[in-house]
Amino acid sequence: MNYLKTAVLLALLTALLVFFGGLVGGRQGAVIALLIAGVMNFVSYWYSDKIVLKMYRAKEVTETEAPGLYNIVRDLTMKANMPMPRVYMMEQETPNAFATGRNPEHAAVAVTTGIMKLLNKEELTGVLAHELAHVMNRDILIATVAATIAGAISYLSQMAYFSSLFGGRDDREGSNPVALIVMMIVAPLAAMVVQMAISRSREYGADAGGANIAGNPIYLANALRKLDFYNKRIPMEVPNQATAHMFIVSPLSGGGMLKLFSTHPPIEERIKRLEAMVGHH
């Protein structure tokens, strides 16, 4: 069901992109919008992992430098029958982790120094299994494509703004200034809501997949409780908010309206679903 939902949401994002491209520049605008998304997706596909790891100053570690971490990742990859990813460490007190890479053959998992201090071996196993599930499901690629299309839609909304300032399309093409103004407001918001829905759907899938790889859903449930508590107490340094969806728990603090636009499902709901899996293992 999660896969179907993701496919529908990605199709909706693409449709929004073409529709708003058409509003800005007619048929030609729709084609240009698709081309922009295509180029951005190409760059994201090949280079997003390097960009994100560099952004968080993550350093690759060897088995000698971090034997405990390395051994857990290796054991889990053997259980999941997948290639060993590169392992990275980030010098951050906030306990968190993420995975990146376009496919299982070109993947990396990164953890903060804070998570290494906070979690016990079982909890860390649950977290790393969750990240490996993301890699197996190619969620990183899906999230990258979604972020790219959403970014292209936001770019189109800026084009609409300038178009309205300078007279827009030729009147013979039926330029509608009201439609352009509505688009400037609605387009980025609609794209963001769809992107959030994709991200939330993939988190539930990785929780379930990670629980299966680790062999016990309680490992991750206990880890999520700790991570949620400490991420609220020790805010993380996030160079770019567009990368927040990559982490196992949201590094961005915020309640009220901000929760509606969170890239992650509520922690309570994730824990509840994991605990419901206990009898089925």
Q: What positions carry a catalytic annotation?
A: 131
Strand 59-60 and strand 86-90: the pairing is antiparallel
The answer to whether 238 touches 178, Cβ cutoff 8 Å, is no
Sheet holding 108-112, edge to edge: 59-60, 86-90, 108-112, 97-100
Instruction: Find, among 44, 35, 40, 38, the residue nearest to 102 by Cα.
Output: 44
Grouping H, G, I as helix, E, B as strand and the rest as coil, residue 138 is coil
Quickly count helices (H) and strands (E) in the chain: 9, 4
How far does CA 83 lie from the centroid of its chain? 22
Provide DSSP, 25-75: HHHHHHHHHHHHHHHHHHHHHHHHHHHHHHHTT-EE--TTTSHHHHHHHHH
The torsion defined by the Cα of 130, 109, 45 and 8, in degrees rounded to 10, comes to: 10
- H/E stretch holding 188 reads helix 177-214
Residues for the chain: how many in total? 281
| Rounded-to-integer distance, Cα 179 and Cα 154, Å | 15
